[in-house]
A and B are shown apart, each in its own frame.
Chain A
Amino acid sequence: DGGITQSPKYLFRKEGQNVTLSCEQNLNHDAMYWYRQDPGQGLRLIYYSQIVNDFQKGDIAEGYSVSREKKESFPLTVTSAQKNPTAFYLCASRRLKDAAYEQYFGPGTRLTVT
């Protein structure tokens, strides 16, 4: 998992509640990413941040929000506006090596909303 921490591994919430997923990295990477994975599916990009205090929407940003106040941290809030929040959430960070980017992923948080 290369120095990316996501906690908790499993999270349960009631419908209508906002929930924040944490992501911390000690790799000194500038860029960080949030993905969502549904059963049997590939990863879909929610939000990403190239630098502190800046972030951009990915392909499925509706119902989610993020902040990037520190280089090491990129928390994701799943709001009550997200229609189908139950999923496996993955955080990643990226570094430049030998003129190409390597992206490293955290262990993931499995969110269940009932």
Chain B
Amino acid sequence: DAKTTQPTSMDCAEGRAANLPCNHSTISGNEYVYWYRQIHSQGPQYIIHGLKNNETNEMASLIITEDRKSSTLILPHATLRDTAVYYCIVVPNTGKLIFGQGTTLQVKP
């Protein structure tokens, strides 16, 4: 499975957009990019996934570069409740999810 690289931590001001980067330079053609987040002491929450096109849902937007070697998760208007660890995962469609260390996002008032 392709490896991902994320910053260890990031801060974001409440009400501003949070842009979380992820590098996955070894991604192969059949691998999807998934994003999950985990609020302290809770189970991970599915956010969004994509293959090569940009995706948007009620929670976030996912921007995937044309070469697919990196992606950015965008939370358009971060709130204090968005403070969590965000995991970027790259996996074949039928493969298992492998969670790394993720990015700890701290949303500040």
Interface residues of A (CB under 8 A from B): 1, 4, 6, 33, 35, 41-43, 45, 48, 58, 88, 90, 92, 99-108, 110
Q: What B residues does A58 contact at CB under 8 A?
A: 96
- Interface of chain B: mostly helix, strand, loop or mixed: loop
Count of chain A to chain B residue pairs whose CB atoms are closer than 8 Å in the complex: 46
| Contact in complex: A48, B96 (CB < 8 Å) | yes
| Contact in complex: B46, A102 (CB < 8 Å) | yes
From B12-20, B21-29, B63-71, B97-105, the one touching the partner chain is B97-105
Residue of B at shortest CB range from A45? B96
18 CB-based A-B contacts, threshold 8 Å? A4-B43, A35-B99, A42-B99, A43-B97, A43-B99, A45-B98, A48-B96, A58-B96, A88-B41, A90-B43, A99-B93, A100-B49, A100-B51, A102-B46, A103-B46, A107-B42, A107-B43, A108-B41
Apart from A90-B43, A108-B43, 13 more pairs, CB < 8 Å: A1-B43, A4-B43, A33-B96, A42-B101, A43-B99, A45-B98, A88-B41, A90-B44, A100-B51, A105-B43, A105-B44, A105-B45, A110-B41
A14 to B76, CA, bound (A): 47
A102 to B101, CA, bound (A): 20
| Contact in complex: A101, B44 (CB < 8 Å) | no
Known pairs A43-B99, A100-B32, A100-B51; A106 contacts B94 (CB<8 A): no
CB-CB contacts below 8 Å: B35-91 with A: 41-46, 49, 51, 87
Q: How large is the interface on B (under 10, 10 to 19, 20 to 34, 35 or more residues)?
A: 10 to 19
Residue of B at shortest CB range from A98? B49
| Contact in complex: A102, B96 (CB < 8 Å) | no
Known pairs A100-B49, A105-B45; A42 contacts B93 (CB<8 A): no
A88 to B51, CA, bound (A): 31
| Contact in complex: B43, A42 (CB < 8 Å) | no
Residue of A at shortest CB range from B49? A100
Residue of B at shortest CB range from A43? B99
Q: What B residues does A90 contact at CB under 8 A?
A: 43-44
A101 to B9, CA, bound (A): 27
